[in-house]
Structure 1
Amino acid sequence: MTCKSIITIGRQYGSGGHEIGQKLAKELGIKCYDKELLDRAAKESGICQELFEHHDERPTNSFLYSLVMDTYSMNGAASGYTEMPLNYKVFLAQFNAIKQIAKEGPCVMIGRCADYALADFDNCISIFVHADMDKRIKRIASKYALTEAKARDQILKTDKKRASYYNYYSDKKWGDGSSYNMCIDSGVCGIDGTVQLIKDFVALKEKIKG
């Protein structure tokens, strides 16, 4: 199929969202942006890339974060970003990069409030991938050679960070079905099954839209 859509993928940690996004993009013949969004935002804004990596899908209410913001602000920033706190500079630069990438054509974007950034794009399709905790624990434990207890702890911490980030910057709720066009349980459907479901949904939406 010839894809005309921008597909955004929100995901619980350990649900396979990154792998699903990559396979989906490959099968549709379009680009996939995950960490690449950070590279693009850093390049176009002139803000240090390490700052994007440090704040990537993380909440902003820490003392250390405030210190970094103040220090960076005193050192100056890219033109157009100088009169706001660093967390907003970083988010706005990323927000603008997401919009610019979307204007360049169909693609898959993973995380980072991309669905919120592209809310005004008629060809944006938002997906959320989730799975039972037990299945996510097994996936993370196997992938990173962790005990199940450590895998569970990592999942809970990462999901909390992602939810805090999404809920802070958007007007929607992370993981809530009403925030997305489609939610899929990858633990039931599997990676390939989830990819196929998304492809079918995209094809149906594009057919209805004409």
Structure 2
Amino acid sequence: MVNTITKGIHKVIQEKGCCNMKKNTIICISREFGSGGREVGQQLSKKLGIPFYDKEILARVAEESDMSEEFVKNHEENAVYSHIINVPIGHRFPGVDTEEIMTPEKLFMIQAHVIHELAAENESCIFVGRCADVVLKDHENCYSFFIHSPLEERIKRIVETEHVTERQAKKMIKQTDWERSSYHNYYTKQKWGDPGNYDLMINSARTGIQKAVEIIMDYVK
């Protein structure tokens, strides 16, 4: 969560006009694992002087769901939906109100609520993942981008950043992309990575991170 001082700095930067971006602009970035989408979001945040939300959302969701951050982290973008978290649907516990059991659907709704709150609290901001592009689709000046890259390039990146073997990197990419797409498709009813669902698709292997940032900045002006 961005503190008051940081928000003040962001506001000053925006008032000085570092970019001709409209007020109340929301930038949503979806990304393939290893494509550099998070880095693109971080660089945009620095250049535009607006808050960036990714894992920072966890603390807020944990607070509003009355769950631990570790619990929320372990179950975010979880692709298992036929069960209440760790409890098969239909199972009953004597003396336990099933309304009090935290389900993946409830956790998603809390997360969506948090995303709306953060969008309302800031003049402009950036979200990475967490279906923010669909959650905020009716927000004025909301732009969505999908960052992708060929598998071989993503493997190289993960090997360098995560210090794993190529085989491990490939396995991580396959698993993470499957979890993200399953999660997104289930809750939004829109296909993750479908060009028709985004303003722009950006191949970071061709553009590089800095150029991808510039493309998005030019687009939202």
CA distance in 1, matches of 2:169, 2:127: 25
Q: Unpaired segments of 5 or more residues in structure 1?
A: 204-210
Q: Deviations over 1:59-105 (max 9, x none)?
A: 12476943398799x8779xxxx367611111011000001111112
The match for 1:187 is 205
Give the structure with higher Rg (CA). Answer: 2
Matching of residue 59 in structure 1 with residue 79 in structure 2: yes
Matching of residue 146 in structure 1 with residue 164 in structure 2: yes
Tell me the SS of whatever aligns to 2:87: helix
The match for 1:9 is 29
Tell me the SS of whatever aligns to 1:9: strand
- Give the structure-1-normalised TM-score: 0.86
The match for 2:119 is 102
Matched ranges for 1:2-81 at <5 A: 2-3=20-21, 4=23, 5-61=25-81, 65-67=85-87
Q: 1:76 to 1:138 in 2, by over 3 A?
A: farther
Tell me the SS of whatever aligns to 1:156: helix
Tell me the SS of whatever aligns to 2:78: coil
The match for 2:153 is 135
CA distance in 2, matches of 1:87, 1:104: 26
CA distance in 1, matches of 2:106, 2:78: 14
- Give the structure-2-normalised TM-score: 0.82
Q: Unpaired segments of 5 or more residues in structure 2?
A: 1-18
Confirm or deny: 8 A CA contact 2:79 2:182 kept in the other structure: yes
**Of 57-66 and 150-159, the range deviating more from structure 2:** 57-66
CA distance in 2, matches of 1:71, 1:154: 36
Instruction: After TM superposition, give the deviation of residue 122 of structure 1 in Å.
Output: 1.4
Stretches of 4+ moved more than 3 A in 1? 61-66, 68-72, 74-77, 82-85
Q: 1:47 to 1:68 in 2, by over 3 A?
A: farther
CA distance in 2, matches of 1:165, 1:123: 25
Confirm or deny: 8 A CA contact 2:85 2:102 kept in the other structure: no
Confirm or deny: 8 A CA contact 2:78 2:179 kept in the other structure: yes
CA distance in 2, matches of 1:85, 1:40: 16
CA distance in 2, matches of 1:67, 1:176: 33
**CA RMSD across the alignment:** 2.4
Tell me the SS of whatever aligns to 2:145: strand
Q: 1:193 to 1:68 in 2, by over 3 A?
A: farther
The alignment covers a number of residue pairs equal to: 198
Instruction: After TM superposition, give the deviation of residue 143 of structure 1 in Å.
Output: 1.0
The match for 1:173 is 191
Q: Deviations over 1:149-205 (max 9, x none)?
A: 1111110110000000000000211001011111100010001010000000011xx
Q: Deviations over 1:108-147 (max 9, x none)?
A: 0000000111011012111110001010000001111111
Instruction: After TM superposition, give the deviation of residue 58 of structure 1 in Å.
Output: 2.0
Identity, % of aligned positions: 40
